[in-house]
Amino acid sequence: MTRNIQVSELDRRAVEDQQVEIVERKGLGHPDSICDGIAEDVSRALSQLYLDRVGKVLHYNTDETQLAAGRAAPAYGGGEVIEPIYILIVGRATKSYEQDGRTVELPVDSTALAAARAYLEEQIPELEYGTDVVVDVRLGEGSGDLQDVFGEEEVQVPMANDTSYGVGHAPLTETETIVREIERGINGKYAAEHPEVGPDVKVMGKREGDRIDVTVAVAMIDAYIADLEAYKAAVSNVQEYATELARSYTDREVNVEVNTADDYDAGSVYLTVTGTSAEQGDDGSVGRGNRANGLITPNRPMSMEATSGKNPVNHIGKIYNLLSTAAAEDVVEQVDGIRDLQMRLLSQIGRPIDEPHVADAQIVTEADVDVADIEAEVTEIVDGNLANVTGITREAIEGEISTF
Amino acid sequence: MTRNIQVSELDRRAVEDQQVEIVERKGLGHPDSICDGIAEDVSRALSQLYLDRVGKVLHYNTDETQLAAGRAAPAYGGGEVIEPIYILIVGRATKSYEQDGRTVELPVDSTALAAARAYLEEQIPELEYGTDVVVDVRLGEGSGDLQDVFGEEEVQVPMANDTSYGVGHAPLTETETIVREIERGINGKYAAEHPEVGPDVKVMGKREGDRIDVTVAVAMIDAYIADLEAYKAAVSNVQEYATELARSYTDREVNVEVNTADDYDAGSVYLTVTGTSAEQGDDGSVGRGNRANGLITPNRPMSMEATSGKNPVNHIGKIYNLLSTAAAEDVVEQVDGIRDLQMRLLSQIGRPIDEPHVADAQIVTEADVDVADIEAEVTEIVDGNLANVTGITREAIEGEISTF
Amino acid sequence: MTRNIQVSELDRRAVEDQQVEIVERKGLGHPDSICDGIAEDVSRALSQLYLDRVGKVLHYNTDETQLAAGRAAPAYGGGEVIEPIYILIVGRATKSYEQDGRTVELPVDSTALAAARAYLEEQIPELEYGTDVVVDVRLGEGSGDLQDVFGEEEVQVPMANDTSYGVGHAPLTETETIVREIERGINGKYAAEHPEVGPDVKVMGKREGDRIDVTVAVAMIDAYIADLEAYKAAVSNVQEYATELARSYTDREVNVEVNTADDYDAGSVYLTVTGTSAEQGDDGSVGRGNRANGLITPNRPMSMEATSGKNPVNHIGKIYNLLSTAAAEDVVEQVDGIRDLQMRLLSQIGRPIDEPHVADAQIVTEADVDVADIEAEVTEIVDGNLANVTGITREAIEGEISTF
Amino acid sequence: MTRNIQVSELDRRAVEDQQVEIVERKGLGHPDSICDGIAEDVSRALSQLYLDRVGKVLHYNTDETQLAAGRAAPAYGGGEVIEPIYILIVGRATKSYEQDGRTVELPVDSTALAAARAYLEEQIPELEYGTDVVVDVRLGEGSGDLQDVFGEEEVQVPMANDTSYGVGHAPLTETETIVREIERGINGKYAAEHPEVGPDVKVMGKREGDRIDVTVAVAMIDAYIADLEAYKAAVSNVQEYATELARSYTDREVNVEVNTADDYDAGSVYLTVTGTSAEQGDDGSVGRGNRANGLITPNRPMSMEATSGKNPVNHIGKIYNLLSTAAAEDVVEQVDGIRDLQMRLLSQIGRPIDEPHVADAQIVTEADVDVADIEAEVTEIVDGNLANVTGITREAIEGEISTF
């Protein structure tokens, strides 16, 4: 088998060299990200359930979760949720399976709810499950044709049954890196030491030439903020942290602003009870936020496909988005001289998904490198990634790869 | 003020002396009782919320809770819930209140959910909140006219704005006592020592002449039952316990049967994961089960009014059912010679509820007692109960009085 | 087969002769009655669906429907619904059936929704389906044991699998008749000529000695009422109609009041957009209103069993309530000299339901009649009713018998 | 005021000249498009409601609609829906408004439901509202700050309160045109004469060099298809129609395939009861399908912003996506020599939205045209579009502009 891998020059400037660049990341606690996260963890839990009970992943698709915002009354020192957030998990799943002459009943609804609860308790800990947020589930039976392609013992590469498209990029630009790392940093190390910082962190980066403006919106948690002065200090601390972090990734001019919509005179600040704007007025759903690489990058081609929640065994849209990103990163890590790489995968109906219609690596090289010089190397790495397509499935099931 | 209290002879035999008597009690874990219990605890929580926040009980009514059964796969040693039970709390509540020139926002939805969760965790502990059971809430705004009649400092007796009717009885017959005590015993002391016994205990008593047949249905919890032999033993233990208990209340012939619908040969037994039939196939709602005295007694007049969940400050149907029962019990406790007492209260529109249109005590006396001899005493006790009508409200809010 | 039919003297005065009598009827448009009506029509539609598709009635039970009130802004000349009423149909139904080696899929959800829509459009025509009222459905799979006892060709009498109880009465007292006929009249002939009268008509009758007070509450429909004067006229017309109707059934003193809660000075009247209080603030559910004979009669023994929505083939509670009422009416129609008849049926587990444990006809005779004289006749009529138990099932499926 | 409009050369080949091009359109009846369409019509209905009642558009946002698929049993000649599709409208809306000293209650829920019903009846006529599909609504109160910027008499340009981004393109490539026109044709003229064709038409175009492959999936409606032969004929007719249509737009080689997933031997064809895959297994939500220009175009920068359902008065993401597309089309229509135009708008927080931070027109010219030659003309047209930004709002409210 020879895969159709094409390596060519990309017919545009590297994004890093374009005049205007816009990058956004919706943090873990953003209503859209909450939906992505729940959908993906429900998917993982179902995969695991099927593997545990029948030894192979059965048909399911849970890439729809709808969040309707609640109502809250935040207050310095601690307010309260008044109307709960409502989250509806929607999708299809196989609920019973004939095996060895008996019918195995599969608790897909309970499993989905348990996964959602675990996710919320981990990621939005101030949100009390069952009172601050009500989660319900509507998982219909699938179309009946079981997809038993990914088992514990034998692993088959599934066939593409749709024309689907995935796209990935590497390396990240400075602005992309900064946007991603600021969100990760605030929601990681920083939050660990600053309990007033909620998980709903939204970061927008805009670069014009060599000036990078970063706007950060952080939902502050009222229980840890005594008054307006404390709030101002909290904002200021985030500003300092984010600025320092950003500067560690670039020599360009960086300007960071935090919670710019605040109006201190009017007493209007970004204070929340639970650390997410979902508590008051912001609805959310799956596939509306970050792409598979964790960013929204209008300067780059993006797939509309929602990656979170889809079955990682046979949903080619999910697999190709994750795989193209992983392949692009692999190439850039192992091959010198690449300034911008865009990796596209296009499926071929009726062929195994590791044999795409075309795998298309388009490259902007460093000034002193020619695409022809690295073509063979790139081809080999992409080929290796395709050969290991089921590795993506396994990583998705194990939760070792993020989808948003 | 002179209250219109009438004491007369009841024109029928005491229920104890009738030829056929039927009595039923749906235990705490029965789907209808779960709804009654949630509705009543939601009511108490809202009363308390209003008292805490604005110093008086505002308008609400939460006497509607709907339970749609789940799906479960019980198994000896421990099965699982497959589809969660769905519970919808329905009603009206005041969500904001103007006080001292500011608007107080009242977290009625969150309070209702928290009350439901606390109730379920206490009464149906094997049911995991949020995964085995999903609780949602639809509390609309009330009609807008606030009912601030019951405050912390001043207590007014509300006006009757409806023609309503309450009825109570005392003393319980032997059969009634047995039915009630068997459920209480199994769900109390017995369950404490026998974890295999679930809270869904339904007791039906039928007396014909001097023979009492008691049928008990107990939802056994699979995690504590290893196999069919263990199940049989569990049933047998309940049978012995209930028989002994019943015999302590009567000299009549008593026969107790437990889980009569079991079919051992077909392997069909009353095994559950959570201890309630709501996990599989049995729906429930408020006001469909026990009356305010905890029993269903077709031999006696009953009110159709659902007592659980209603506002105890101004809902006359609730107050009169509780008050007539309490008054009947008081009379029988303090006055000798009463074999059967039926206490009816009928409201008078536009008058304070402690001045009913008529308070009607109908009595079957012991052979050697004449109604005329005890009339004054009975009247005085009933009058005292009416004078203390707000005491019923307070007991309901404090949870010192049961409604089902 | 000899049925255990007992005929005896009733040990109390006829209700007609008691000093105080209370009777209530919740009309067709009352929120509880709406639920009863939907539940019963869903039941009939499912029975018919099963008969059409597989030739016999399969297992189902749809005796739970929850209504959460909407919000409306009525106005003289025509207002509008602001938030829809929400109705949730809850129950169990068989969704697929193996027949002749193939699986028949049964559209139970769609059938239930279609039945609810047809019912609402017929009974509450001002309520626009889908915008003024949202109806959803949660029908779980039943317990799996199919109950194919009532087919088109062969009809078997099912076995009692529960201890259940039904009770019926005849004849109606004057007060009962008046209460029932006023509601029927207003919702029938009167409404046909007076479009301003909505179907939510609640009638409460109270008799003390020889004085009957009737309180009628009628939800007026705003589109047909131009102003307060028109409203007053509408109320006055109902009052005249109801008074005349009542007087045609009694020689006692009758006093009728309509919409007594109105306060003209405050501009507070019983005006609605749709003709039902469910549009604003009044929730409802099945089994909370009228008993199987269409009335709430605290002077008489009543069954707590919800009759509406239950499977008429095998649900003994439903069958016995309908059958005892029908038998009582038959007896009174055919046998002279009966002043009050109370008919009770008690099931015997494991026996066909036409062989009750006891069928108990208790009678208050006219002064000149002795129970012994009519015992044989009564027994024969009751026996005939029991023999024809499946006739009740057929009437329920055909909709020839009302359950509320 | 001088607007910051930049015109420059686009640093890539025109999409028409790229080697591989992928284009997709989800037709009107696709589950995602159904959600887009409902969300947008709900938005329009709310705008109109606010204009009618209070003379200006108040705060709302309804860009979330979730569809959970139903279950259906299609059959040649006519099958049936078994479980209804469930659609939940989610968002925020102002429910009451103080005006001239009185509170105006706004029927936002009923209005949203009516809009959804009208949309479904128009676009998916085989879907019976209320039985085949249940629509519910959860519109929370907004954040309370009213946005009264767009009234009937005075029109203000709102301020940007967020960093937002819109992007548009013109002209369409041949492949884009073909994909769009095939869907429009099938759902337009063709369907009018071929009732067997359902509105769920999905078109995928893939061009490699000068060969265009078009894959069309059409949900056939069973009532109009007698048997497999008729089905094959229906597919063949669509294939012919689409091929001819495609060829009218290009001289390239075109190949059209219809319903490629069919397996005639297995009897597996794309037959539906209602003409949409939402009836069985395909869920949907807003913002997951077509971008504002009706296409999904991975070869071009796209905005992730969901355009459908957003408030067209003040939601800058919606306005900029529609405006950039309109401006690009205007420029290309009026200026000769443009092969590919990419129009980007980036907001400036705190400035009126007609004064973007940057309006960036990037152009690939025809070989004989220089960007400098047309710069002035382009600038003027873009400036005119920006000056008329409220025209976009009005068109959106009037429904003269499509969002998906």
Q: pLDDT at residue C145 above 70?
A: no
**Which candidate in B30, B134, B304, B347 is best for mutational testing of the C interface (most C CBs within 10 A)?**
B304
CA-closest candidate to residue C119, choices C44, C221, C222: C44
Of B73, B105, B114, the CB nearest to A131: B114
This prediction's pTM = 0.96
Find the helix or strand (DSSP H, E) in which D204 lies. strand D197-208
| 8 Å CB contact of B113 and A130 | yes
**Which candidate in A6, A10, A22 is best for mutational testing of the D interface (most D CBs within 10 A)?**
A22
- Bridging pattern class, strands D197-208 and D253-258: unpaired
| 8 Å CB contact of B136 and A132 | no
Q: Give the pLDDT confidence score for residue C151 in this predicted structure.
A: 64
What percent of chain B has a predicted confidence (pLDDT) above 90? 88
DSSP for D321-384, written as a single string = HHHHHHHHHHHHHHSTTEEEEEEEEE--TTSBTTS-SEEEEEEEEPTT--HHHHHHHHHHHHHH
pLDDT averaged over every residue in chain C = 94
Q: pLDDT at residue D166 above 60?
A: yes
Tell me how far CA of residue C8 lies from CA of C5, C12, C299, C378, in angstroms. Answer: 10, 12, 19, 10
Highest mean pLDDT among A233-237, C264-268, D257-261: A233-237
**Min distance C137 CA to chain D CA atoms (Å):** 9
Query: What ipTM describes this predicted complex?
Result: 0.94
Q: pLDDT at residue D152 above 70?
A: no
pLDDT tens-digit readout, B227-272: 999 999 999 999 999 999 999 999 999 999 999 989 999 989 999 9
B-chain residues near C70 (CB < 8 A)? 140
Identify the bridge partners of residue D56 per DSSP, sorted by sequence position.
Answer: D151
Give the three-class secondary structure for A228.
helix
Q: Give the pLDDT confidence score for residue A11 in this predicted structure.
A: 87
Closest residue of chain A to B104, computed from CA coordinates: A73
**Which candidate in A81, A110, A121, A133 is best for mutational testing of the B interface (most B CBs within 10 A)?**
A110
| 8 Å CB contact of C109 and D80 | no
What stretches of C248-315 show up as alpha helix (H) in DSSP? Answer: none
Q: Which of A285-289, A305-309, C144-148 has the lowest mean pLDDT?
A: C144-148
pLDDT tens-digit readout, B349-390: 888 999 999 999 999 999 999 999 999 999 999 999 999 999
**Residue C221 structure tokens:** 């429909």
Q: pLDDT at residue D142 above 80?
A: no
Q: pLDDT at residue A147 above 70?
A: no
Q: Quick check: D68 and D166 in contact, CB under 8 A?
A: no
Q: Which of B319-323, C162-166, C232-236 has the lowest mean pLDDT?
A: C162-166
**Which candidate in B136, B283, B342, B363 is best for mutational testing of the C interface (most C CBs within 10 A)?**
B283
Q: Give the pLDDT confidence score for residue B151 in this predicted structure.
A: 64
Report residue B154's pLDDT band, with 50, 70 and 90 as the boundaries: low
Of A19, A143, A344, the CB nearest to D280: A143
Q: Give the mean model confidence (pLDDT) for residues D300-326.
A: 94
Report residue D105's pLDDT band, with 50, 70 and 90 as the boundaries: very high
Measured CA angle at C240 (ends C235, C242), to 5 deg: 95
| Residue whose token pair is 């689907």 | A164
What percent of chain D has a predicted confidence (pLDDT) above 70? 97
Report residue D164's pLDDT band, with 50, 70 and 90 as the boundaries: confident
The one-letter amino acid at A284:
G
Can you say which residues of C are annotated as belonging to the binding site for ATP?
A: 140-145
Q: pLDDT at residue D153 above 90?
A: no
Q: pLDDT at residue A177 above 60?
A: yes
Q: Give the pLDDT confidence score for residue A51 in this predicted structure.
A: 94
A-chain residues near B117 (CB < 8 A)? 130-131
Q: Which residues of D369-388 are buried (b: 16+ CB within 10 A; e: fewer)?
A: bebeebbeebbebbbebbee
Q: Which of A106-120, C24-38, C140-154, D67-81 has the lowest mean pLDDT?
A: C140-154
A-chain residues near B105 (CB < 8 A)? 73, 82
CA distance linking residue A199 with residue A187, whole number of Å: 6
pLDDT tens-digit readout, B157-176: 888 877 788 999 999 999 99
Q: pLDDT at residue C154 above 70?
A: no
**Min distance B193 CA to chain A CA atoms (Å):** 30
Find the helix or strand (DSSP H, E) in which A394 lies. helix A389-398
pLDDT tens-digit readout, D208-230: 999 999 999 999 999 999 999 99
pLDDT tens-digit readout, C270-280: 999 999 999 99
- Identify the contact set of chain B against chain A, taking CB-CB distances under 8 A: 73, 80-84, 86, 95, 105-110, 113-114, 117, 129-132, 134-137
Report residue B207's pLDDT band, with 50, 70 and 90 as the boundaries: very high
| 8 Å CB contact of A206 and D92 | no
Q: Which of A292-296, D227-231, D263-267 has the lowest mean pLDDT?
A: D263-267
Q: Give the pLDDT confidence score for residue C141 in this predicted structure.
A: 85
For chain B, give the secondary structure using H, E and C: CCCCEEEEECCCCCHHHCCEEEEEEECCCCHHHHHHHHHHHHHHHHHHHHHHHHCECCCEEEEEEEEECCEEECCCCCCEEEECEEEEEEEEECCEEEECCEEEECCHHHHHHHHHHHHHHHHCCCCCECCCEEEEEEEECCCCCCCCCEECCCECCCECCCCCEEEEEECCCHHHHHHHHHHHHHHHHHHHHCCCEEEEEEEEEEEECCEEEEEEEEEEEHHHCCCHHHHHHHHHHHHHHHHHHHHCCCCCEEEEEECCCCECCCCECCEECCCCHHHCCCCEECCCCCCCCCCECCCCCCCCCCCCCCCCCCCHHHHHHHHHHHHHHHHHHHCCCEEEEEEEEECCCCCECCCCCEEEEEEEECCCCCHHHHHHHHHHHHHHHHHCHHHHHHHHHHCCCCCC
pLDDT tens-digit readout, B15-73: 999 999 999 999 999 999 999 999 999 999 999 999 999 999 999 999 999 999 999 99
Q: Give the pLDDT confidence score for residue D319 in this predicted structure.
A: 95
D-chain residues near C107 (CB < 8 A)? 73, 80-83
Q: pLDDT at residue D165 above 80?
A: yes
Q: Quick check: B277 and C139 in contact, CB under 8 A?
A: no
pLDDT tens-digit readout, C321-366: 999 999 999 999 999 999 999 999 999 888 899 999 999 999 999 9
Can you say which residues of C are annotated as belonging to the binding site?
A: 140-145
B-chain residues near A141 (CB < 8 A)? none
Q: pLDDT at residue B144 above 60?
A: no
Q: pLDDT at residue D144 above 60?
A: no
Q: pLDDT at residue D126 above 60?
A: yes
**Residue C171 structure tokens:** 């004849």
Can you say which residues of B are annotated as belonging to the binding site for ATP?
A: 140-145
Q: Give the pLDDT confidence score for residue B203 in this predicted structure.
A: 97
A-chain residues near D285 (CB < 8 A)? 64, 66, 285-287
Q: Do chains C and D touch (3 or more CB pairs under 8 A)?
A: yes
What percent of chain A has a predicted confidence (pLDDT) above 70? 97
Q: pLDDT at residue A152 above 90?
A: no
Q: Quick check: A23 and A274 in contact, CB under 8 A?
A: no
φ, ψ (nearest 5 deg) of residue D151: -110, 180
Q: pLDDT at residue B153 above 80?
A: no
Q: Give the pLDDT confidence score for residue A330 in this predicted structure.
A: 98
Q: Which domains does chain C have, with CATH numbers?
A: 5-26+162-173+288-397 (3.30.300.280), 31-146 (3.30.300.10), 178-284 (3.30.300.340)
Q: What is the dihedral of CA A372, A377, A382, A383, to 10 degrees?
A: 110
D43 annotated as ligand-binding: no
pLDDT tens-digit readout, B73-113: 999 999 999 999 999 999 999 999 988 899 899 999 999 99
Q: Give the pLDDT confidence score for residue A163 in this predicted structure.
A: 79
Q: Quick check: C67 and C134 in contact, CB under 8 A?
A: no
CA distance linking residue C217 with residue C201, whole number of Å: 6
Report residue D349's pLDDT band, with 50, 70 and 90 as the boundaries: confident
Higher pLDDT, A281 or B187: B187
**Min distance C377 CA to chain B CA atoms (Å):** 23
pLDDT tens-digit readout, A311-355: 999 899 999 999 999 999 999 999 999 999 999 999 988 889 999
A-chain residues near D64 (CB < 8 A)? 66, 68, 283-285
C-chain residues near B161 (CB < 8 A)? 261
| 8 Å CB contact of A73 and B134 | no
Q: Give the pLDDT confidence score for residue D154 in this predicted structure.
A: 63
